Chains A and B, each alone.
Chain A
């Protein structure tokens, strides 16, 4: 079981992620606001963050940068409805392990979460 932080400005999306991953036995903390998600990570262990790239106040990539400073070993999956190479570059350089495209596909999310959690420390840092 892993401690998972899910952040998306659309409540339904975080609820969906929570539902899918809770069934897999993970503890999922859902947030729609960046500040609250960051505050949670300051106080609590986070094994995996699932972050939407397009948020209201900040970008998901910025949040990833902050969370990685707080929790350097934390794994991260970035979500986006509009995949671009530029956001992918930023996310990878900040240490994102996977990049998922919306709409969320249950199998794909489960696979990626399992892969990322299983491969703790497997993926090398890569600066692109």
Chain B
């Protein structure tokens, strides 16, 4: 073979390999590969080939092609392709150079920029319609084809070609081939890995020979000749598929001012973007929420976007396995099923509120009343208490001016780490403000506190009632505020004094229940009263995720009511957010709400679809389908095995998500969502000041993913409601929403936020109500316009609406700990993770990659458990294995582990990274169980036992 023939042969082989990696292998190509012309050449080559892996690879591919019909091979390889390259499986073979620089599942790293430089130098760029990344193996192989053709036809010098081979492909082909071989289930892809690695190493030798002007090795020439002849029979054509002619100037470095959406804290965030690649995230200076800070999650938010585990295309499940689908097919399939199933038998589960006005409206037009958010799993008891008793779910305290702060079950330093209020909390403690943290676990915030009160789980209501008793009995409360601005005090006083049932809620009564001495409870009440009004009590999920804590939240917030500290400097703040206008313009038709007034499940107070009852609802024939957006109900809504069974029993399920998860794996259709950095929204927000917060798209949607608005517009169109969802771009709905504000979208883009109202105290005096005035919103509404000791919703429903303590097991007797299961287990949030949504982010997993179970030192000693031991934790309903962390930082009789762990996909599920592994405490929950008042599952009240394995 002469030089031209050799280079053309090389080009053919590069084209062949590029084609096999570029996409799932089309049926026509498998048919061609199964023909004699191709197989004959391959066979001939195998007979004389002396290169071990090349020969073995050919054998494996030939074996696959000869083992079944082309159609069967095609189907098997489609499923395998989805598993390996579209992240439908738990052990993907990432086809990107970026992932092998550090061997971490992270794309869009330095090799992409370098690849773009090489392409530019070669007068090429990645094709717009090749939706995958620049450093995809198919693109790098196609570039080698280009170089080889240039050498053949134009006798171009090959230095640049061999530099690229050595500087790129050879740097990662070993690792990639090893990963592909270990991950592949079919002989075909194992063979492809062998051929690829072997061919490229022979190319290395060829490069040496060429550069030193030596002749090509004869045996290699033979391989080139016969392999290229085989490839020629496939008629792959002349077109390039990943690359196109022409240079594209790189985009300049720019700064995108936005807000973080990793958690719902929404701190101001500034992204550096270079050539459509986010190179870093930092806090947005001046932003009211973050004050220029970001937590570790926000600083690594772009690694969620660049996680190599991202879903890239729609997927459809067939015969229990996923295959790639077009958007048309996947959306058609979804909507056909939505139309077939009664809307009242479909549950819409959404895990976040990104542009929720759109998907809420689409699902209302469709007609399902069964819409849930994460609310029930989060802090519904607190919301139902606070949103009815005054006007806001979480009255964040004005820490800056506080003298005494009591936090029940809030770990501010972990859950709100980047927020400005945490910085002010730290400053307040430093200047001498007393911080008391009530939590069975010594959390980061408890460590900061002046006093850590290690209360028994689920008994906060008793302690709070004991404190309220002291404030009322000793006349320490603010009579003027109570008289003018509260409702239901007399009834509350009767409850405290035991006038209803003969049980006074004294500190001694409380001490028996909560395990905190009466002296401590009395002292804290006195301190609280003395420091008022610069005091505040607040609670969160540490309280809410035990059963029957609606009344407990009322009890502890009642301390604020008794001392009149709402909106006082240093007290809990009243929230007002300047409402945005509708996303629909004045002349745009609004969609109908076709959802009947129908409640799928009913509790004492909360009714609607209660996802913790998912299995029960499916078994009773009440639910037949689910559409899930950015949610992981399997891991978060209740008993994991029970929710999993429920989804498996559905007639149809579809998930819209960025990653494969314990939930998406069960669905019939999976639609790839964008991360928040690839789409935009605007919201009214508050952090002492009221402000408009922009989340601004930093980069174009990656792969074949779409924004949530685009996806729901397509669903609406297919449901017959397309005329109501007509925005042509994000700008259109953003401008509509901003039309009542004194800032334009263009202006907002430059700053990222816009303060509408400065921080003010005692706003309710000006408003004449605890509710914000017209034009402003908050999450709740008090019917009386006052602070209610008596919950008006409960009063209307004829059920107990006064603050109190109720046993967690009152409605579910078998939740009560007993001699078999004497310990209470719950999960806690860690700084590094946001529930279940950050476990595909390698930076966050490196910071926190497992969740040992915290065991009290004394308990561990008695049970013979040492730090680091493998233990079994059992509830009456399931058991799990974990690693013990023996510590004094948790109350005796209590177990706790970080939440969100236990994934079957992402870094935890990937056998390449066995160092990341944890368990989901929710596996141990009682199936079909929630608080009957608020529908919150008892996530932090699971009776268990622990033993060393």
Binding site for B on A (CB under 8 A): 82-86, 88-89, 92, 99, 101, 103, 105, 108, 122-128
Contact = CB atoms under 8 A, between A and B. Distances in A.
A125 B846 CA distance: 12
Contacts of B644: none
Contacts of A127: 911-914
Interface of B: 52-53, 102-104, 166, 174-175, 177-179, 181-183, 190, 193-194, 197-198, 201, 204, 208, 842, 911-915
A85 B93 CA distance: 14
A23 to B, nearest CB: 21
A103 B209 CA distance: 12
B178 A105 contact: no
A99 B174 contact: yes
A88 B177 contact: yes
Contacts of B912: 126-128
Contacts of B181: 85-86, 89, 128
A124 to B, nearest CB: 5
A92 B175 contact: yes
Which 3 pairs between the two chains have the least Cβ-Cβ distance? A128-B182, A89-B178, A99-B174
A57 B178 CA distance: 25
Tell me whether chain A's interface is mostly helix, strand or loop, or mixed: loop
A125 B194 contact: no
Given A124-B913, A126-B912, A127-B914, A85 B103 contact: no
A88 B104 contact: no
B363 to A, nearest CB: 41
Nearest to B166: A108
Question: Which of B178, B198, B842 is packed against the most chain A CB atoms within 10 Å?
Answer: B178
A55 to B, nearest CB: 18
Question: Which of A83, A86, A122 is packed against the most chain B CB atoms within 10 Å?
Answer: A83
Nearest to B194: A85
Nearest to B907: A124
Question: Which of A83, A85, A128 is packed against the most chain B CB atoms within 10 Å?
Answer: A85
B102 A124 contact: yes
A85 B53 contact: yes
Contacts of A86: 181
B183 to A, nearest CB: 8
Contacts of B53: 83-85
Question: Which of B102, B103, B190 is packed against the most chain A CB atoms within 10 Å?
Answer: B103
B52 A82 contact: yes
A89 B52 CA distance: 16
Nearest to B200: A83
Given A88-B197, A89-B182, A126 B204 contact: no
Contact of A85 (B102, B104, B166, B178): B178
Contacts of A108: 166
Contacts of A89: 178, 181-182
Contacts of B194: 84-85
Contact of B175 (A83, A84, A122, A126): A126
A125 to B, nearest CB: 6
B96 to A, nearest CB: 15
A29 B197 CA distance: 31
Contact of A126 (B103, B166, B177, B190): B103
B177 A85 contact: yes
A108 B52 CA distance: 24
Contacts of B208: 103, 105
A122 B166 contact: no
Nearest to B179: A128
B102 A122 contact: yes
Contacts of A101: 201, 204
A85 B913 contact: no
A128 B174 CA distance: 11
Given A89-B178, A123-B102, 5 more contacts: A85-B193, A92-B174, A124-B103, A124-B913, A128-B182
A88 B180 CA distance: 12
Contacts of A99: 174
A123 to B, nearest CB: 5
A127 B913 CA distance: 6
A44 B179 CA distance: 33
A83 B913 contact: no
A83 B178 contact: no
Nearest to A92: B178
A128 B99 CA distance: 14
Contacts of B178: 85, 88-89, 92, 128
A85 B56 CA distance: 11
Nearest to A107: B166
29 contacts: A82-B52, A83-B197, A83-B201, A84-B52, A84-B53, A85-B177, A85-B178, A85-B181, A85-B197, A86-B181, A88-B175, A88-B178, A89-B178, A89-B182, A99-B174, A101-B204, A105-B208, A122-B102, A123-B102, A123-B103, A124-B103, A125-B913, A126-B103, A126-B175, A126-B912, A127-B913, A127-B914, A128-B182, A128-B183
A101 B207 CA distance: 13
Nearest to A99: B174
A101 to B, nearest CB: 5
A92 B208 CA distance: 26
B913 to A, nearest CB: 7
A68 B760 CA distance: 62
Nearest to A97: B103
A125 B182 contact: no
Contacts of B183: 128
B913 A126 contact: yes
